[in-house]
């Protein structure tokens, strides 16, 4: 009985030691550096989550990426050659995100206030929010080689505004990553 367990443990160890090698072998293709959302020093949790989600979505589609240190987008384009060299990358992915809240009146009526929308009864009503995402692929010479614009909309209800913004951000990111993976590539 002890011998069986020992053999089983050795087999598991042998299999486990080959898994990292397989992961490295499968990690082929170009590497893209993601410039984080927002400005350097920005502490907005929605933007930090969006940067992480972009990396996850790319990885799920078998696109290699690395997240750079927070950098201004214009500075990133100007220093594309240095950034590509630092990360041994093939290009930069520069995302930009903008949120909008509609000022239109819904059927229940509302008065816009900071942090949400309060109805005449004081209860939070539903209100439309939108995420507009722009994703640029910049080559190592600083030239924009590809771009896409996506949007996501939601009728948000409640006080947890970051949750609503995260939901529409994730939707816009998924569409942008899909566009990126399916973009025409020159051969």
Q: Where are the domains of the chain?
A: 29-181
Residue 42 has pLDDT above 90, yes or no: no
Nearest to 171 by CA among 156, 144, 155, 153: 153
Output DSSP code: residue 124.
B
pLDDT at 156: 81
pLDDT at 147: 97
3-state secondary structure of 155: strand
3-state secondary structure of 158: coil
Tokens of 81: 């050659």
CATH C-level class of 29-181:
alpha beta
pLDDT at 113: 47
What is the pLDDT averaged over residues 82-111? 80
pTM of this prediction exceeds 0.85 = no
Q: Please report, for residues 21, 47, 68, 169, 175, the alpha-carbon distance to residue 51 in angstroms, rounded to integers and kept in the order given.
A: 28, 6, 10, 10, 15
């Amino acid at each position: 009985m002890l011998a069986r367990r020992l053999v089983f443990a050795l087999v598991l160890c042998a299999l486990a030691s080959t898994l990292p090698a397989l992961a490295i072998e499968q990690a082929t293709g170009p590497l893209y550096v993601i410039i984080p959302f927002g400005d350097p020093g920005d502490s907005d949790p929605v933007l930090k989550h969006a940067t992480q989600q972009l990396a996850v979505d790319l990885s799920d589609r078998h696109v290699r990426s690395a997240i750079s240190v927070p950098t201004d987008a214009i500075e990133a384009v100007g220093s594309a050659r240095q950034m590509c060299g630092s990360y041994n990358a093939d290009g930069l992915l520069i995302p930009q995100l903008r949120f909008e809240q509609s000022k239109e009146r819904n059927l229940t009526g509302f008065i816009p206030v900071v942090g949400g929308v309060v109805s005449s009864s004081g209860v939070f009503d539903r209100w439309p929010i939108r995420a507009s995402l722009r994703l640029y692929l910049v080559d190592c010479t600083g030239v924009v080689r590809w771009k896409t614009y996506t949007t996501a909309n939601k009728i948000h209800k409640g006080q947890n505004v970051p949750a609503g913004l995260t939901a529409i951000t994730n939707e816009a990111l998924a569409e942008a990553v899909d566009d990126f993976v399916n973009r025409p590539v020159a051969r």
